[in-house]
Copies of this chain bind each other. A is one copy, B any other.
């Protein structure tokens, strides 16, 4: 039927959206969340339908995405009909009943996701089905390839592109800020694409942004990498795997992560990585709790890598406590710069960095990788490379340790008793840093004076909470009061807790992409 377009002036992040009067929708034979095809001058677009009583009969309210795609104006007459039933929905349904998906079926699903032909219910069902049924290696590979095919790719025409990735989950993990300049300073090419926090206190892109701009176009990224061999760029606007950005919305909402494997590997494929090291933090409070689990994930990552032509190794690292002394974008960037400048000694961070950088170097044929990485740090070559990258990305090459704006609202947290730091609770510490304002407020976060194993006397400062706003600091301090983010005691203490009734609900799910 023909309807008059009403331009609503709403943008919806790339997705076509329309509003129809309920009667018109009935007449077309469609319900809310159904699909229609809107045609104007022989150009069609498929859109998900919303029904409402506030749009008059004979009118179709359209968002900016529909207006632009069709090139219509206020009151343009468009032809509206039921869209053909998408095959991809049949495939999703099949997965939901336990069938495995073939490569063509996966391609079709991913294409329809990117083109907006599937509604949120349908995408959410697909993600749920993947989470419940699991995906085999063929499916994971197919998803990774389809995500690459529907996105942009980086083409540097360099032979030896290397990369690192962490499956994340551990607060304070600024490893990438050191690995990239080390590797680039040693002549390998590492075009690092990073993520922002979704549920964490900071992703690598959030940390790097305290040092330099990270929101670059793909052409600018190419320029930086051609000149310096490295970069640290936020992946969000590069569109390397736009399907993943859509899937992640459902995953986040449901705190499930079935697409972890294709999500990682698609983005590495899209930048043409040849050698890849993946960090799998393992331990209580990390995404992977046991070595067995992590080894199994590693095996799958390596196998999918093989199928995609990416030489992959995994490094299991200790994930049961934060890395270094700082959590929060600016505090972490400051700590990373201090280590690059040899102005601070952060043994756990340096050890992790050198293991990962060393593994990359050895995959690329160098010997004694750990020592090479350590020497690049000690000699200042890594620092010089980092300042070069900062400059090319548009930051201040002369940035000093005192230049970071750290939140002025501060509270020191003292030990209530004497003993040792026995444990640090990653999840509670992330919650605390987020309440203080991280990662949105770059200067918010936590700085530790003591870490696991350190001797503590009652009254000693264990850590300081930083915030940019008084309101957020007091919200954070309530969390300190309600939970115990850090445990102090003696090593002979055995009691964990007693269960008298079902435990209260506790969401713990860390996500960055």
- The interface of chain A, by Cβ under 8 A from chain B, is 9-13, 19, 26-27, 29, 31-34, 50-54, 64, 85, 87, 89-90, 92-93, 96, 98, 119-125, 127-129, 131-133, 198, 249-250, 252-256, 434, 440, 505, 507
Contact = CB atoms under 8 A, between A and B. Distances in A.
A124 B120 contact: yes
A121 B122 contact: no
B11 A505 contact: no
A55 B85 CA distance: 34
19 contacts: A10-B52, A10-B54, A27-B440, A29-B440, A31-B249, A33-B253, A89-B507, A90-B505, A92-B254, A93-B255, A96-B256, A121-B124, A121-B254, A124-B124, A124-B125, A124-B128, A125-B125, A125-B127, A128-B132
A92 B90 CA distance: 24
Contacts of A34: 253
Contact of A120 (B9, B53, B120): B120
A53 B249 CA distance: 18
A252 to B, nearest CB: 7
A11 B120 contact: no
Contact of A122 (B27, B254, B505): B254
A26 B123 CA distance: 24
A252 B85 contact: no
A96 B251 CA distance: 12
A52 B128 contact: no
A206 to B, nearest CB: 11
A197 to B, nearest CB: 10
A476 to B, nearest CB: 12
A85 B505 contact: yes
Contacts of A85: 505, 507
A513 B31 CA distance: 14
Contact of A131 (B13, B26, B96): B96
A128 B96 contact: yes
Given A13-B52, A120-B124, A125-B125, 16 more contacts: A10-B52, A31-B198, A31-B249, A31-B252, A32-B249, A34-B253, A92-B254, A93-B254, A93-B256, A96-B131, A98-B132, A119-B253, A120-B121, A125-B253, A125-B254, A128-B128
A249 B96 contact: no
Contacts of A87: 505
Nearest to A33: B253
Contacts of A125: 124-125, 127-128, 250, 253-254
A124 B64 CA distance: 27
B54 A11 contact: yes
Nearest 5 A-B pairs (CB), nearest first?
A121-B124, A124-B124, A128-B128, A121-B253, A90-B505
A183 to B, nearest CB: 31
Q: Which of A250, A253, A434 has the most CB of B within 10 A?
A: A253
Contacts of A33: 249, 252-253
Contacts of A96: 128, 131-132, 254, 256
Contact of A440 (B26, B121, B249, B250): B26
A138 to B, nearest CB: 17
Nearest to A132: B132
A120 B50 CA distance: 13
A98 B256 CA distance: 13
A104 to B, nearest CB: 10
Contacts of A198: 31
A30 to B, nearest CB: 10
A19 B13 CA distance: 13
Contacts of A127: 125
A219 to B, nearest CB: 23
A54 B7 CA distance: 13
A100 B489 CA distance: 38
A52 B11 contact: yes
Nearest to A98: B132
A436 B85 CA distance: 18
Contacts of A505: 85, 87, 90
Contacts of A11: 52-54
Contacts of A129: 128, 132
Contacts of A52: 10-13
A327 to B, nearest CB: 16
